[in-house]
Structure 1
Amino acid sequence: MGSLFWNLSRFRTSLLFIIASLTYFIKALNYHSFEKPKKLELPPGPKPWPIVGNLPEMLANKPAHKWIHNLMNDMNKEIMCIQLGSVHVIVITSPIIAHEFLKKQDAAFASRPLSVSTEIASNGYLTTALVPFGEQWKKMKKVVSKELLSPLKHQWLHDKRIEEADNLVRFVWNQCSGPNQGGRVNVRIAAQHYCGNVIRKIIFNMRYFGKNKKDGGPTNQEAEHVDALFTVLKHIFSFCVSDFIPSLRGFDFEGHEKIVKKAMKILNRHHDPIIEERIEQWNNGTRTNEKDLLDVLITLKDDNGNSLLTSGEIKAQIIELMLAAVDNPSNAVEWAMAEMLNEPELLQRATEEIDRVVGKERLVQESDLPKLNYVKACAREAFRLHPIAPFNVPHLSMADSIVNNYLIPKGSHVLLSRQELGRNPKVWHDPHKFLPERHLKRDGSEVVLTEPNLGFISFSTGRRGCPGIVLGTSMTVMLFARLLHGFSWSVPPNESRIDLSESVDDLLLAKPLVAIARPRLPMDLYHKD
């Protein structure tokens, strides 16, 4: 009897335990089944107005990049969402978050937004950098990376680049009063037109559109050409209202469309006759050897032996190549020279490095560039502190994504802040000071201009990364090294320092850099043709 009672007691205890466990399980199941999932939020940002979003604030606080960066600083945020019309514009100033967009989830952000300016500049999206993700982009990316900017083509075009580096030295020398005497040099003109000369040389095998100028400087045609390129660059993705409210396209309230069309008309006027004549020469057999990149583009064939590219694609891609080549190197070198003129010991150290590597009996060559670590450190510091544009070319989200625990809706425009990535105090010590030494490596290994960790942006990375890193690096460092090697530089006598103020509308020097240059090498080196 006692044994039976004991067994019943054990049975009741077990039954109660089972019932309690089932009750708990059912309650837990019901709780999780009906619990509302946590809703992901957009990155923080200003409260938008209905329909127009934050467009009224943007229009009242031009330029837009300063308004955006001031908002982020006031909110103390490294990622922010601004609604412009119905478009979510996501801005990033943190390298860690930028890495999430361009490295870990690059596939989701590999497209480009549509805009009035980019449609005009790319001749209806026929090019590479400005084109939305799709078959046209894949086709043109392959052409540019494998056929135009490959290591083999870079070596093939070496002599043309050196010819323009020699012309640069001759042009600056001609601004001097005579041997061992100084002259005032507009460094911006020298730098921008060197870049224009290089890209014209490797594409068209010509420096001038008209008659050569004796001093090696730009003619009116080249000045007009470079000005048009910079005009187009200034208006690409320039926060035009109609880009965020497409129904307003065609009204051109801000005049952007008219400005870009006028600049493109200038570029086409200079380019099209050359391109059309060259196509005709290849068609009639009067030209049979490739001498420049235009020849390469014309002679590309598809699998059936037909021309791979239309004349429209060739014309559009050439303009995009020129747009990509003229701004970054010239801006970095102008800013670096301005900063170093105010810190003469930096100028001296860079010049001494070139003398140690090259000597004074010949001009610096591309083969010397890997050894010029301090010169490249100065260029890197200019890219970090003084980028050519406030933001990189926008990426477009192709699907809803989650980044840094925030929802990034499909169709969002993603902007990496070139300005604030490079000036982020969490990454860079004393971020507003020009300190080239921060880029030198302790083991003395080679300094490069790229920045894979996105501490700043010199050349874009990821699937939409810049295919012209090698060309851009060689143009930047050669321009910089030739100016430093060939001349001694000083502040004009009526000034104590170079004014380092930024332009009101962009990140260029407010006033073009003008400095005194004095030849420092044997005279025969300045007269190479």
Structure 2
Amino acid sequence: MGYSNLPLHSNDTAAMTLLMAMLSLLALLLITNLLWFLFHRFTLKPNTSSLSPPLPPGPVPWPIVGSIPEMIRQRKSRSLWVLSLVEKTKQGIACIRLGNVHVIAVTSPEIAREFLKTHDAVFASRPMTMANDYASRGFLPVFASPMGPQWKKMRRVVVSKVLNPVTLQWLLSRRLEEADSLVNEIYKRCCVHGAKLNVRNVAWQYGGNLWKRMIFNKRSFNGDDNEDGEYIEAIRTALSLVNAFCVSDYMPCLRWLDLDGHEKIMKRAIGIINKHHDPLIDERIESWRSIIKDEISTPKPRDLLDVLISLEDDNGKPMLSSEEIKAEATELIMAGFDNSANAAEWALAEIVSQPQIVKRAVDEVDRVVGKNRLVQETDLSQLSYVRACVREAFRLHPIATFNIPHVSISDVTVSGYFIPKGSHVLLSRIGLGRNPKVWDEPLKFRPDRHLNTGLDQPVLLTAKDLRFISFSTGRRGCPAAELGTEITMMLLSRLLQGFNWSVPRGTSLVDYLKSVDSFTSQPLILHAEPRLATHVYPMTS
């Protein structure tokens, strides 16, 4: 995400930080200019071997700093700047050297498949960035850990103990309760005459309550609590920085300067998140340890936090430290919040903007489910057209410009290009999903393109061919892709079944739908009215 779009505000120290940044950058540029001649004279050597593969095409870097000066000058979005450099090469791949790191950006599905399928084992690590350092308590949980023993340990825990089919089935009732609460709360707000709703807030509150119920057996978001708003905003901020292009990630010697101001913002955001999580986790750990100490029979886990705490190694000792438990719980919350809510919000916006799509989607829900009961998870596989709408939203309106970086653990040749060890490989969600060489009319919302004409196969939200990215794939793929599919489908299906949606008078969706950077666009505001009989709406507390 672009650093100029971060949601937290600057303070009175911003001017001093900016001055320090400018002075540091000026000194850095002077040094690089002085070294320019020496670099060309003594360091660069012609490539005399025709057998040596070249780096992917890209801008000519400065010595030492690479293209960091150009990156710093970006005022809108650094990620879109990187994407523009790929488009300029017309090769579907580009190499941008930032400091001593080769950043490899990809928009070609064929090349993407080479990275994450043919050479998946080489690109199974993660970068040790400033934002991930804070968010993961020092790279402890599964998504953020670099390749190594810690990642293998946490991946085994998450895949086999936390997100396995048995555990997810055990938590089904809580997901359904949250789906009922979603419909009930919207119904109470719009009742008979309808009301304008912030769809983004509705989607985030649903996802937040659902994941907090599964992890902490607690729901808290009702849209009226200032602390809840602070918590959600902190998660949004942290997520925006995890994928940001931060100067110190490529030149760690400059981290103490915090040239972008990212570290200060990230530290504050994570502090707010930890303030909400840590007391709950500390109390629960202490409770379990007291039970074990007093030799009381161990109770059955009530939620995913209990699962994490109750895990034991071969010696009967706790498998995870308190820091690992806190890090994994936070990571699951952060990973579960944004992607599903974003896809449902954009799908609803696109559906509402095209009356023929609204009718077809709602008719399908009515045909499969009817009007006398609400959609259940067992219905979702039969809602092929609604699934196609969600799949198209993932393609056209991804949550971020790029996926989380993969890091090469050795030198390798991919698609005829040399990829050095330590390179950061970024697959562009926008570049893949809107690639005109792959998709006909790529900027149009056309769910029919995803229907398997003539084939009796379900419409999947994942794309193993990497023509777009919904949930990541490969060794570092999302272990909760199936759960994410169910959550996204339930959210959109309940919204379509329970309410008639329209654009409020005096407003338009034109500007909203033109947004490229979906995470920082204005939230979707729509008018909602109940469309079912009163007795169908659940009256939850």
Report the TM-score, using the length of structure 1 for normalisation: 0.90
Partner of 1:17: none
- 8 A contact 1:102–1:461 mirrored in 2: yes
Deviations 1:400-451, CA, capped at 9 Å, x for gaps: 1000101000111000001110011111110010000000111242111111
Aligned-pair CA distance for 1:497 = 3.9
2:55 matches 1:55: no
1:140-155 matches, within 5 Å, as 140-155=154-169
Aligned-pair CA distance for 1:522 = 1.6
Aligned-pair CA distance for 1:494 = 1.6
Partner of 2:529: 518
Q: Secondary structure at the match of 1:528?
A: coil
CA distance in 2, matches of 1:96, 1:496: 38
CA distance in 2, matches of 1:61, 1:252: 17
- 8 A contact 1:229–1:267 mirrored in 2: yes
The residue identity in structure 2 corresponding to 1:226 is: I
- Given candidates 210, 229, 232, the residue that maps to 1:226 is 232
CA distance in 1, matches of 2:158, 2:511: 39
Aligned-pair CA distance for 1:221 = 2.6
CA distance in 2, matches of 1:106, 1:480: 33
2:214 matches 1:208: no
- Given candidates 156, 159, 178, the residue that maps to 2:173 is 159
Aligned-pair CA distance for 1:224 = 1.9
Aligned-pair CA distance for 1:234 = 0.3
The residue identity in structure 2 corresponding to 1:312 is: E
Higher gyration radius (CA):
1
The residue identity in structure 1 corresponding to 2:377 is: E
Aligned-pair CA distance for 1:344 = 1.4
Partner of 1:468: 480
- Given candidates 425, 443, 450, the residue that maps to 1:414 is 425
CA distance in 1, matches of 2:81, 2:472: 24
CA distance in 2, matches of 1:431, 1:256: 34
The residue identity in structure 2 corresponding to 1:130 is: A
Runs of 4+ in 1 over 6 A off after TM superposition: none
- Given candidates 39, 43, 52, the residue that maps to 2:56 is 43
Partner of 2:206: 194
- 8 A contact 1:228–1:263 mirrored in 2: yes
Partner of 2:29: none
1:233-272 matches, within 5 Å, as 233-272=239-278
CA distance in 2, matches of 1:321, 1:218: 24
Q: Secondary structure at the match of 1:508?
A: helix
Aligned-pair CA distance for 1:501 = 4.7
- 8 A contact 1:92–1:98 mirrored in 2: yes
Q: Secondary structure at the match of 1:249?
A: helix
- Given candidates 417, 428, 435, the residue that maps to 1:424 is 435
Partner of 1:438: 449
- 8 A contact 1:118–1:237 mirrored in 2: no
CA distance in 2, matches of 1:511, 1:378: 21
Q: What is the identity percentage for the equivalent residue pairs of Structure 1 and Structure 2?
A: 52
Partner of 1:23: none
Partner of 1:103: 117
Aligned-pair CA distance for 1:324 = 0.6
Aligned-pair CA distance for 1:342 = 1.1
Q: Secondary structure at the match of 1:421?
A: helix
- 8 A contact 1:44–1:79 mirrored in 2: yes
CA distance in 2, matches of 1:100, 1:75: 19
2:280 matches 1:274: yes
Structure 2: runs of 5+ lacking an equivalent: 1-47
The residue identity in structure 1 corresponding to 2:480 is: G
CA distance in 2, matches of 1:503, 1:280: 47
112 and 497 in structure 1: CA distance in 2 versus 1, 3 angstrom threshold:
closer
- 8 A contact 1:160–1:202 mirrored in 2: yes
1:19-418 matches, within 5 Å, as 36=49, 38-62=51-75, 63-176=77-190, 178-179=191-192, 181-208=193-220, 216-217=222-223, 219-285=225-291, 288-418=299-429
Q: Secondary structure at the match of 1:109?
A: coil
CA distance in 2, matches of 1:188, 1:424: 27
- 8 A contact 1:500–1:510 mirrored in 2: yes
- 8 A contact 2:349–2:509 mirrored in 1: no
Aligned-pair CA distance for 1:223 = 2.0
CA distance in 2, matches of 1:269, 1:496: 39
- Given candidates 437, 444, 448, the residue that maps to 2:460 is 448
Report the TM-score, using the length of structure 2 for normalisation: 0.88
Aligned-pair CA distance for 1:39 = 2.2
CA distance in 1, matches of 2:510, 2:205: 22
The residue identity in structure 2 corresponding to 1:220 is: N
Q: Secondary structure at the match of 2:95?
A: strand
- 8 A contact 2:433–2:468 mirrored in 1: yes
CA distance in 2, matches of 1:52, 1:497: 42
Aligned-pair CA distance for 1:523 = 1.2
- 8 A contact 2:83–2:105 mirrored in 1: no
Q: Secondary structure at the match of 2:443?
A: coil
CA distance in 2, matches of 1:295, 1:36: 59
Number of paired residues? 486
- 8 A contact 2:125–2:407 mirrored in 1: yes
Aligned-pair CA distance for 1:503 = 5.4
CA distance in 2, matches of 1:64, 1:321: 27
- 8 A contact 1:111–1:133 mirrored in 2: yes
Q: Which moved more, 1:53-62 or 1:239-248?
A: 53-62
Structure 1: runs of 5+ lacking an equivalent: 1-34, 210-215
496 and 124 in structure 1: CA distance in 2 versus 1, 3 angstrom threshold:
closer
CA distance in 2, matches of 1:203, 1:268: 15
Aligned-pair CA distance for 1:259 = 0.8
Partner of 1:477: 489
CA distance in 1, matches of 2:461, 2:217: 27
Q: Secondary structure at the match of 2:220?
A: coil
CA distance in 1, matches of 2:521, 2:514: 5
Deviations 1:352-402, CA, capped at 9 Å, x for gaps: 100000000011000100000000100000000000000000000111100
Aligned-pair CA distance for 1:174 = 2.0
User: For the aligned residues, what is the CA RMSD?
Assistant: 1.5
The residue identity in structure 1 corresponding to 2:159 is: S
